[in-house]
Amino acid sequence: MVTSPNASSGNIDFAQKRHRELAKLIQRYDDAYYQDDAPLVTDAEYDVLRQELLELEKSFPQLKSALSPTQKVGAQPLSRFAKVKHASSMLSLDNAFTSQDVTDFFEKASRFLGRESRYIEVVAEPKIDGLSASIRYVDGCLEVAATRGDGVTGEDVTLNIKTISSIPQKLTPPFPNVIEIRGEVYLDHEDFFLLNAQRENDGEEIFANPRNAAAGSLRQLDPAITANRKLKFFAYGAGSVWVAGFRTHWDFLEQLKKWGFEVNEHIQLCKSLEDLVTYYEQVASLRSGLGYDIDGVVYKINDLGEQKRLGFVSRSPRFALAHKFPAQQAQTRLLDIQVQVGRTGVLTPVAHLAAINIGGVVVTRATLHNADEIARKDIRVGDMVTLQRAGDVIPQIIGAQLDLRPSDSTPFEFPAKCPVCGSPVVSKGEEVARRCSGAITCHAQAALKLRHFVSKDAFDIEGLGRKHIDHFFQEGVIRSVIDIFTFEERDRSADEPLKAKEGWGEKSAQNLFDAIRAKKTISLSRFIFALGISQVGQTTAKSLSLYYENAYAWFEKMIAAAKGGAELLELKNIDGIGESVAQDIVDFMNVDAHVNLIATLMGNHENEGILSVMPDEKPNVTSSMLAGKSIVFTGTLISMTRAEAKSIAERLGAKVLGNVSAKTDIVVVGADAGSKAEQAKKLGVTTFTEDEWIQVTQSEG
């Protein structure tokens, strides 16, 4: 578990700064990993930041936002595969690292359900370290299979899945007309070592661990290659969690076996929290002899009706938890500290290490976060440092072994100037992060911003990936966003047109220009995301798009918000925006170059722009009378918990607010209601009793 000592001691000022810094750092790594296919850190180094953010949000709940990076799931499907939309989202699980974490999770679930935790029945199973997949059967026949992808849409790997012998091509009757079976694709240790030996013999790069091997094998374009990799599959659930005709998760697991799926033999039904602890210890003791990788255990509430009541929060279900195994440690030499410059100008120090194997993974790099982190831990080049991997996947530098420190060691000096462009390094407000002040004059930032702009979740321009952007940038052909959309016109009069350059031809050049032209129509949320505003990820961009509805309204409101006043207050009050994100949006809009860029790209009411920025499609909840309504709950609810009432409202398309204002549509008044009920009466806001609220929600389904 990663917890900042300053945060845990109650220093809210430090916590706020660290939370904001981590959110931005994670956003930067997301851009590189998910959009550019060019990770700046290992998966394990990235996970340690997410865990620290989770711990901060646990210690300081007021910092948690519905749009926090901790809510993000998976990654966009690779472009070389067709896309498959899942019947229901494939979410990730919350993590626990101690028995107390497990107790807290199930006590919280119990409070939500209004019952005692000792009476909750839980199914426990080993957490397979593989690749999640969903397999759709129609009339009992395997029709399509997909990876998790971003949780909503995955990669079509049907032909490859059909090569896995532990996955039935047809289900044994009886079966429903349509069902998605979910589970984990993995490679056992024996086949992993044989595969690596063969690759080494063939002069190919070996896989770092079985999970990487499984992922790489399942994503082959040639199913024959996948067939030779001897992948296996453990089924663990269904696409629709609440499967018709089944009362418990345990019953459904039994049915999976009857249909011909392999279900892990170590799954167990537990009757108490004490049973969970015992099970965890038993699986940990079996771990080394299982023959395949696990990185913890998973607990799922057995009753499917209770699962349905608990539902989901953002990126994870309320009814399931992953209990990770303890950290593994090792020592190695810190060879160098190099400072990288990100898209938003943040300077990140990266530790380069003598290669060390920790739990089967070779680690050569680790992020040091920022200058303060290096100083706090007093980490120096040449030190022997202790590395830790929590839950088998999270590496971090714990500290240096001072007794082994070289006599000529000197403290690391963080650069005062950008290592790329030489501009002064500055700090923004109370932010811990240090930034290059060069902005668009810094080539590192400019090139990364362009990469982000054309990335998969932004403009997604086919054929204009990382390598091409970098090449065109170095040549001076594309130095700004505008250059992308004027490329074809400028190329017509160029001394050496693109089709004449090495690696290009008339057809490939025309394909690129056609792809650019095809992206001149884009949704508002993608457009906002593409701008690369700090802290504005896909979810925040979507919220802004749906709230302001069209591009012109959003643009005008953002310009007004940058000047303060009512528009800024309105921006802050949007669910998930808050003070920090709003300030970053304001900072962005206070730069004339940014405003001019947006105006040029999308135009205004008087002038036509380069692009057509279209409104996003609204959620399909228009049939609900609560869709789009702002609701406030006050007082004590008798028949359900507050959390359950909020979950129902959001499922029906409503927005749940904390305070009553003139813009509030409905106030649900429970027992012992206070000032909020009085405020609603004063403002003439519609009020429901708890019984009236229940009647409305039941009529909505």
Summarize pLDDT for 65-86 with one digit per residue, the tens: 655 666 555 444 444 567 888 8
pLDDT score at 77: 44
User: Which of 3.20.20.80, 3.40.50.10190, 3.40.50.800, 3.40.50.1980 is the CATH number of 630-699?
Assistant: 3.40.50.10190
Q: Which residues contact 55 (CB under 8 A, 6 or more apart)?
A: 1, 2, 3, 4, 7
pLDDT in tens, 151-163: 788 888 888 899 9
The phi and psi torsions of 247 (rounded to 5 degrees) equal -90, -30
pLDDT at 413 over 90: yes
Question: What does the block give as tokens for 445?
Answer: 């930032």
Query: What's the CA gap between 411 and 267, in Å, rounded?
Result: 51
Looking at the chain, the domain(s) classified CATH 1.10.150.20 span 523-614
Average pLDDT, whole number, for the chain?
82
Instruction: Look up tokens 């990126």; give the residue.
Output: 315
Mutual angle of helices 43-59 and 12-30, in 10-degree steps: 150
pLDDT at 475 over 80: yes
Identify the CATH class of 5-71: mainly alpha
pLDDT at 565 over 60: yes
Better-scored residue on pLDDT, 698 or 337: 337
Question: What does the block give as tokens for 66?
Answer: 């519905």
pLDDT in tens, 167-219: 999 999 889 888 999 999 999 988 888 887 777 666 566 676 788 788 888 87
pLDDT score at 8: 40
pLDDT at 435 over 60: yes
pLDDT in tens, 531-551: 988 888 887 888 788 788 889
pTM for the whole thing? 0.49
Q: Which of 526, 505, 448 is nearest to 481 (CA)?
A: 448
pLDDT score at 231: 93
Once rounded to an integer, what is the mean pLDDT over residues 75-99?
A: 74
pLDDT score at 5: 40
The lowest-confidence range among 11-15, 29-33, 607-611, 690-694 is 29-33
Query: What's the CA gap between 58 and 417, in Å, rounded?
Result: 36
pLDDT score at 30: 64
pLDDT score at 630: 84
pLDDT at 393 over 50: no
Query: What's the CA gap between 645 and 622, in Å, rounded?
Result: 20
pLDDT in tens, 645-673: 776 777 777 777 767 888 888 999 887 77
- Whether the CB-CB separation of 247 and 241 falls below 8 Å is answered with no
User: 33: pLDDT confidence band, cut at 50, 70 and 90?
Assistant: very low
pLDDT score at 245: 81
User: 259: pLDDT confidence band, cut at 50, 70 and 90?
Assistant: very high
pLDDT in tens, 481-520: 999 999 999 999 988 999 998 889 999 999 999 999 999 9
The CATH architecture that domain 523-614 belongs to is Orthogonal Bundle (1.10)
Looking at the chain, the domain(s) classified CATH 3.30.470.30 span 83-314
Better-scored residue on pLDDT, 691 or 38: 691
Residues with active-site annotation: 127
pLDDT score at 622: 53
The phi and psi torsions of 205 (rounded to 5 degrees) equal -65, 135
> What is 93-134 written as a DSSP string?
-EEE-SHHHHHHHHHHHHHHHTS-GGG--EEEEEEE-SEEEE
* Length of the chain in terms of residues written: 701
User: 415: pLDDT confidence band, cut at 50, 70 and 90?
Assistant: very high
Query: What's the CA gap between 219 and 261, in Å, rounded?
Result: 22
The lowest-confidence range among 217-221, 350-354, 368-372, 402-406 is 217-221
Give 70-104 as a 3 state SS string. Answer: HHCCCCCCCCCCCEEECCCCCCCCEEECCHHHHHH
pLDDT score at 10: 47
Most confident of 129-138, 324-333, 692-701: 129-138
The lowest-confidence range among 48-52, 89-93, 403-407, 526-530 is 48-52
pLDDT score at 70: 63
pLDDT score at 71: 53
pLDDT score at 440: 61
CA angle 378, 341, 79 (to 5 degrees): 125
Report the chain's C-alpha Rg in angstroms.
Answer: 27
Once rounded to an integer, what is the mean pLDDT over residues 456-482?
A: 87
pLDDT at 569 over 50: yes
Q: Which fold has domain 83-314?
A: D-amino Acid Aminotransferase; Chain A, domain 1 (3.30.470)
pLDDT score at 623: 63
Once rounded to an integer, what is the mean pLDDT over residues 136-142?
A: 92
Q: Which residues contact 131 (CB under 8 A, 6 or more apart)?
A: 147, 148, 184, 185, 186, 211, 214, 215, 218
Most confident of 36-45, 306-315, 369-378: 369-378
Better-scored residue on pLDDT, 465 or 66: 465
The lowest-confidence range among 56-65, 414-423, 584-593 is 56-65
Looking at the chain, the domain(s) classified CATH 3.40.50.10190 span 630-699
Most confident of 114-128, 162-176, 619-633: 162-176
pLDDT at 38 over 70: no
Query: What's the CA gap between 79 and 626, in Å, rounded?
Result: 38
Looking at the chain, the domain(s) classified CATH 1.10.287.610 span 5-71
User: 616: pLDDT confidence band, cut at 50, 70 and 90?
Assistant: confident
pLDDT score at 448: 84
